[in-house]
């Protein structure tokens, strides 16, 4: 109980007294009203009696017996009426008294109920006070937690700034180390070339001397008249030049013993099996749940025997394509974010992937652990491609930059700043073509390291693809249009492809050109694959009813046999004309 309880009890007692006085006044008024009519009749009776007495007393002569009898009859009649009225009034009085007793009983019951309500009100007031105390304690605790959160957020911001500074410092150190490595490699290369030139000159003199001693003057004159001096020299070298052969052998052995992240088998150039005739798919051969979450990217290898998929579950899965079915081969791990783009190297030994975790990763097919991680972008990496050079890759990011990486040094060698986020890119000989969110396609010269041309697009660019002969560029835009650009001339003739029902599903939807360049394929938000004929510009076919959500990417095998489409509900579908 609190100190305010006596005061509240005194106030409640005064209110109770006022309530009782009011009830008494009300009862007095009600009872007075009930007997008022009886009193009025009684008063009239008294007045009539007085009047009769006055008449009798004022009469000058003695009344006769008949008049008295008549007067008595009138009095009896009046008295009977008054008595009957008295009885009726008494009956009404008893009825009202019983009603009053019932009301008093109900009043007592209401008083008891009111007393219980007052008691319950007191209990509720105590509960309210207790809840208020608890709320005050919780408010104090909440204020403490809020202050702790503010301090932790300030620490987090400081740690982020510190991490950014450390990252910038690390990038600068890597750039300095790369520049130092470049200069050292250049010095070594120049020294090696000078040494080889020196050995070549000494070998030339020795071979010339030996050949001059072994040949007769007549044979020398015939060779000199038949061939030039250089031809004669190289013919001699091809016959006997053990020192030069050993020099070249040592050079290749030294290269294999270096610290490069690429092996000799990866340096070899393998022929790419490109079909001269791509077959338009007509039915689904296989439908499978390829990932645990949505799939963002899909790509065939150059041999068309392997397929790679990557999704938001941070995994890259490799599948074998055999006899019209997909068989899981291996899972490549190491990314801490969702996969946005996948590409095989030309030889088919490595896989490059771009990730949401601001990096690009490189795997060998025989190792599930990432061999190399390229870090330096400030936002998610949306595209990663092998360039024309054997040991270079190019990445594009939402941080409005394009970076060129040297795989041998695992370092960034060039940074191209752009005014808009990069959504996708493709590489051609001595050039990089990038698509951006500002509805622009930019062509970069890797030798000049600058943008040499800008092509307008119909909307925000979501993907790019280049034909196998590097003559045509395909762009997919958010305005639900595919645009095919002719790269051979300066006019860059463009053709747009649309279809009723086709809708670009996201900012990363990917479309492809068939290996023979005759067809275009893209997935739509209505869960169907649309294929256009390039020569006619019309829709060739529509493949529905196999996906349950928006299709994010499509891949066409270089053999021309298969098409694979993936969607946001982790489903992959293998299509063919078989």
Question: pLDDT, tens digit, for every residue of 436-477?
Answer: 999 999 999 888 888 999 998 888 999 999 998 888 999 999
Angstrom distance (rounded) from CA 411 to CA 376? 9
CATH code for the domain in which residue 364 is found? 2.130.10.10
pLDDT, mean of residues 355-371 = 92
Residue at 428 is within a domain = yes
**Domain end marker among 267, 297, 327:** 267
Residue at 167 is within a domain = no
Q: Each residue of 124-134: pLDDT tens digit? A: 999 999 999 99
**What percent of the chain is helix, strand and coil (3-state, nearest 5)?**
40, 30, 30
- Tell me: do 251 and 342 sit in the same domain: no
Q: Each residue of 379-421: pLDDT tens digit? A: 999 999 998 777 899 999 999 999 999 998 888 999 999 999 9
- Tell me: do 529 and 448 sit in the same domain: yes
Question: With bands split at pLDDT 50, 70 and 90, how would you rate the model's confidence at 348?
Answer: confident
Q: Each residue of 159-173: pLDDT tens digit? A: 988 888 888 888 888
For residues 307 and 564, the answer to whether their CB atoms sit within 8 Å is yes
- Tell me: do 440 and 500 sit in the same domain: yes
**What pLDDT, on the 0 to 100 scale, is given for residue 223?**
37
Question: With bands split at pLDDT 50, 70 and 90, how would you rate the model's confidence at 207?
Answer: low
Residue at 163 is within a domain = no
Residue at 272 is within a domain = no
**What pLDDT, on the 0 to 100 scale, is given for residue 226?**
40
Q: Which residues, in sequence order, are CB contacts of 149 under 8 Å at separation 6+? A: none
pLDDT, mean of residues 34-63 = 66
Angstrom distance (rounded) from CA 259 to CA 335? 24
Q: Report whether pLDDT(321) > 90.
A: yes
Q: Report whether pLDDT(478) > 60.
A: yes
pLDDT, mean of residues 327-353 = 92
Angstrom distance (rounded) from CA 509 to CA 465? 12
- Tell me: do 396 and 261 sit in the same domain: no
- Tell me: do 548 and 425 sit in the same domain: yes
- Tell me: do 469 and 559 sit in the same domain: yes
Angstrom distance (rounded) from CA 226 to CA 220? 10
Question: With bands split at pLDDT 50, 70 and 90, how would you rate the model's confidence at 513?
Answer: very high
Q: Report whether pLDDT(244) > 50.
A: no
Average pLDDT, the chain: 81
pLDDT, mean of residues 523-543 = 94
325 phi and psi, to 5 degrees?
Answer: -145, 160
Strands 422-428 and 411-417: unpaired
- Tell me: do 118 and 262 sit in the same domain: no
Residue at 156 is within a domain = no
pLDDT, mean of residues 429-439 = 91
Q: Report whether pLDDT(42) > 90.
A: no
Question: With bands split at pLDDT 50, 70 and 90, how would you rate the model's confidence at 271?
Answer: very low
**What pLDDT, on the 0 to 100 scale, is given for residue 232?**
34
Question: With bands split at pLDDT 50, 70 and 90, how would you rate the model's confidence at 577?
Answer: confident
- Tell me: do 31 and 136 sit in the same domain: yes
CA 450, distance to chain mean position in Å, is: 33
Strand residues in 429-528 grouped as ranges (E):
431-436, 440-445, 450-456, 461-466, 472-477, 481-486, 494-497, 511-513, 519-523
Residue 340, Cβ neighbours under 10 Å: how many? 26
Q: Report whether pLDDT(501) > 60.
A: yes
Greater model confidence, 260 or 469? 469
**What pLDDT, on the 0 to 100 scale, is given for residue 347?**
85
For residue 476, what are its two tokens?
Answer: 């997919």
- Tell me: do 243 and 310 sit in the same domain: no
For residues 375 and 340, the answer to whether their CB atoms sit within 8 Å is no
Angstrom distance (rounded) from CA 61 to CA 57? 10
**What pLDDT, on the 0 to 100 scale, is given for residue 421?**
94
**Domain end marker among 267, 301, 326:** 267
For residues 440 and 458, the answer to whether their CB atoms sit within 8 Å is no
Angstrom distance (rounded) from CA 202 to CA 189? 20
Q: Each residue of 176-200: pLDDT tens digit? A: 877 777 787 778 778 878 888 888 8
Q: Report whether pLDDT(238) > 50.
A: no
Q: Each residue of 84-139: pLDDT tens digit? A: 888 888 888 888 888 888 998 899 999 999 999 999 999 999 999 999 999 999 99
- Tell me: do 132 and 50 sit in the same domain: yes
pLDDT, mean of residues 213-217 = 46
- Tell me: do 432 and 323 sit in the same domain: yes
Residue at 276 is within a domain = no
Q: Using the 8-state DSSP alphabet, how is residue 32 labeled?
A: H
Residue at 62 is within a domain = no
Residues of the domain holding 246:
173-267
pLDDT, mean of residues 362-377 = 91
Long-range contacts of 322-325 (CB under 8 A, 24+ apart): 324/285, 324/286, 324/562, 324/574, 324/576, 324/578, 325/285, 325/286, 325/574
**What pLDDT, on the 0 to 100 scale, is given for residue 234?**
32
Greater model confidence, 251 or 377? 377
Question: With bands split at pLDDT 50, 70 and 90, how would you rate the model's confidence at 6?
Answer: low
Q: Per the structure, how many domains does the chain have? A: 3
**Domain end marker among 227, 242, 267:** 267
Residue at 431 is within a domain = yes
- Tell me: do 179 and 288 sit in the same domain: no
Using CA atoms of 170, 176, 180, 182 in order, give the dihedral in degrees to the nearest 10: 90
């Amino acid at each position: 109980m609190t100190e305010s309880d006596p005061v509240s009890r005194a106030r409640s007692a005064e209110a109770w007294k006022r309530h009782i006085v009011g009830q008494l006044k009300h009862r007095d008024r009600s009872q007075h009203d009930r007997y008022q009519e009886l009193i009025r009749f009684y008063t009239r009776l008294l007045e009539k009696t007085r009047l009769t007495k006055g008449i009798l007393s004022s009469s000058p002569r003695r009344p006769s017996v008949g008049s008295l009898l008549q007067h008595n009859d009138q009095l009896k009649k009046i008295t009977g009426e008054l008595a009957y009225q008295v009885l009726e009034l008494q009956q009404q009085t008893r009825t009202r008294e019983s009603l009053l007793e019932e009301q008093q009983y109900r009043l007592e019951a209401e008083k008891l109920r009111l007393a219980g309500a007052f008691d319950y009100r007191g209990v509720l007031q105590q509960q309210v006070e207790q809840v208020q105390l608890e709320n005050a304690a919780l408010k104090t605790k909440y204020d403490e937690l809020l202050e702790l959160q503010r301090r932790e957020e300030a620490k987090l911001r400081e740690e982020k700034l510190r991490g950014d500074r450390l990252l910038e410092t690390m990038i600068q150190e890597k750039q300095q180390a790369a520049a130092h490595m470049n200069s050292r490699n250049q010095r070594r290369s120049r020294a090696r070339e000078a040494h080889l030139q020196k050995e070549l000159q000494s070998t030339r003199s020795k071979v010339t001397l030996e050949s001059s001693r072994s040949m007769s003057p007549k044979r020398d004159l015939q060779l000199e008249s038949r061939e030039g001096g250089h031809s004669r020299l190289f013919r001699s070298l091809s016959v006997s030049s053990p020192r030069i052969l050993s020099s070249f052998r040592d050079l290749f052995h030294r290269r294999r013993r270096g610290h490069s992240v690429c092996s000799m088998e990866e340096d070899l150039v393998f022929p790419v099996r490109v079909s001269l005739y791509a077959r338009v798919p007509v039915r689904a051969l296989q439908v499978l749940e390829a990932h645990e979450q949505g799939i963002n990217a899909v790509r065939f290898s150059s041999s068309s025997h392997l397929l790679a998929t990557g999704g938001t579950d941070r995994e890259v899965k490799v599948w074998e394509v055999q006899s019209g079915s997909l068989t899981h081969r291996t899972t490549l791990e190491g990314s801490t974010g969702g996969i946005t783009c996948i590409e095989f190297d030309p030889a088919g030994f490595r896989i490059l992937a771009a990730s949401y975790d601001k990096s690009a990763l490189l795997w060998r097919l025989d190792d599930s652990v990432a061999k190399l991680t390229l870090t330096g972008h400030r936002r998610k990496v949306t595209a990663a491609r092998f360039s024309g050079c054997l040991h270079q890759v190019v990445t594009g990011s939402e941080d409005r930059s394009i970076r060129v990486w040297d795989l041998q040094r695992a370092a960034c060698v060039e940074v191209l700043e752009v005014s808009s986020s990069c959504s996708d890119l493709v590489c051609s000989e001595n050039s990089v073509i990038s698509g951006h969110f500002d509805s622009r396609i930019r062509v970069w010269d890797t030798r000049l390291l600058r943008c040499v041309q800008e092509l307008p697009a119909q909307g925000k660019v979501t993907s790019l693809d280049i034909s196998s002969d590097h003559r045509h560029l395909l762009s997919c835009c958010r305005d639900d249009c595919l645009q095919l650009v002719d790269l051979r001339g300066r006019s860059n003739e463009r053709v747009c492809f649309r279809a009723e029902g086709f809708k670009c599903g996201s900012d990363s939807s990917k479309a492809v050109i068939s290996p023979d360049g005759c067809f275009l394929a893209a997935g739509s938000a209505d869960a169907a694959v649309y294929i256009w004929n390039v020569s006619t510009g019309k829709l060739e076919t529509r493949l529905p009813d196999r996906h349950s959500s928006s299709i994010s990417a499509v891949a066409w095998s270089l053999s021309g046999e298969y098409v694979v489409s993936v969607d946001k509900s982790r489903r992959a579908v293998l299509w063919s004309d078989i």
